[in-house]
Structures are given as structure tokens and as C-alpha cells.
Amino acid sequence: MLSKINNSKGFTLIELIVSVAILSIVVIGFLSIFVHGTEYIGMARHKSSSSTGAQSEANKFMSDPDTITTSSFIDFKIELVSGTEIEVENVTVITVYNEKNGQKSEIITIIP
């Protein structure tokens, strides 16, 4: 007759499969966090460089002696897609206008 081998040391195959499955789920979760993090870093880098470029162009525009700057206060309403209306009061609108060589340039800044 075959005798039973009783080896209580070690893990069974089922325990190993379950532990590997749990470990793989955790690793996949961490990898997705890193992937999304690198995507957000790329978007932030793009926004930062775009903002820096726009600020540089605005500074060149503002330093021109032919530039005219006006400032005013306005009230307006915003209607959201949900149908809700938001009323905004005393918003500062700064308009910078320059006409040079037959080309008109205008920068409008809205400051809440």
C-alpha cells in the first residue's frame, strides 16, 4: 500500500496561486497610479510652458509705448448646463489694445 506523506512544512499550490493573484492585483494598482501620475506631470508641464510663453508675449505687448490699457467693472450671469444661473458682480475687465503696422492686437483679462 501507498503510505501517505504528511509534510506540514511549506505551502500548498492553492495558497501559492492565491497569494500570487493578490500580489499581482496590488502591483497592477500601483502601476496604474504611476502611469496616471506621469500623464498628469506631462499635462502640467505643457500648461506651465504655455502659460510662460503667453506671459512672455503679453509682457512684450504691454511694454510697447503705443499700447492703450482700459479697465472697467462689469456684472454678468453664467448659465450652467444644468440650468443653474450664477450671478457675478464687480468683475474687473482689463483690455489692452495696440494697433501697429495695420494689425490690431487685443488682450482681455477678466479678474474675478
51 falls in which pLDDT band (50, 70, 90)?
confident
The residues near 93 (Cβ < 8 Å, ≥ 6 apart) are 71, 72, 73, 74, 108, 109, 110, 111
Task: Please list, residue by residue across 66-80, b when 16 or more beta carbons sit within 10 angstroms of its beta carbon and e when fewer do.
Answer: eeeeeeeeeeeeeee
More confident residue, 109 or 2: 109
> pLDDT tens for residues 3-33?
556 656 778 889 999 999 999 999 999 999 9
What pTM was estimated for this model as a whole? 0.43
